[in-house]
Amino acid sequence: MNNPRIKADPLAVSESVLLDAGNAIRERNKEHGHTERSFKMIGELWSIYITHAYTSRDDLMLKPHDIAQMMSLVKIARAVYGYSLDNFIDGAGYTALAAMLTPSPQKSADIRPIITTTKSEAKDDTV
């Protein structure tokens, strides 16, 4: 029935999308639990993540690895309010993608190596 020459009625397409979305919301609510609480937790986790990302980099722009990390946080929040193996599988996948997308840290001349001394070396310095 999907003849490419016959164009779908735009209104019928939009109605179909809305009906499918309504059905998905009902079904997902069983799987993901309380929607408002889950979204509140996601908002809190994202706010904390963005605050720390900004302060550690002094850069307002989110990077691709940040988005992967934040999507992982969505799955963590969903696992708190409902059970679906999908949350754990997708969460692991997003974390793996974040690892792939995170740029390697650049060595900086400003970073000094940590100097360790033994107790005997410390005693020699005080003499």
Q: What average pLDDT score do residues 19-44 get?
A: 90
C-alpha of 27 from chain center: 23
Q: Is there a domain that residue 4 lies in?
A: no
Q: Is there a domain that residue 61 lies in?
A: yes
Q: Is there a domain that residue 108 lies in?
A: no
- Give pLDDT, residue 127: 46
CA distance 55 to 111: 18
Q: Is there a domain that residue 62 lies in?
A: yes
Q: What is the pTM of this model?
A: 0.69
Q: Where in the sequence is the domain holding 63, given as residue range(s)?
A: 34-102
- Give pLDDT, residue 104: 85
Question: How many separate domains does the chain show?
Answer: 1
Q: Is there a domain that residue 82 lies in?
A: yes
What sign for the dihedral angle of Cα 107, 110, 111, 117?
positive
Q: Is there a domain that residue 81 lies in?
A: yes
Please name the residues in contact with 88: beta carbons below 8 A apart, sequence gap of 6 or more. 75, 79
Which spans in the chain are helix H? 10-32, 35-57, 64-81, 85-101, 119-126
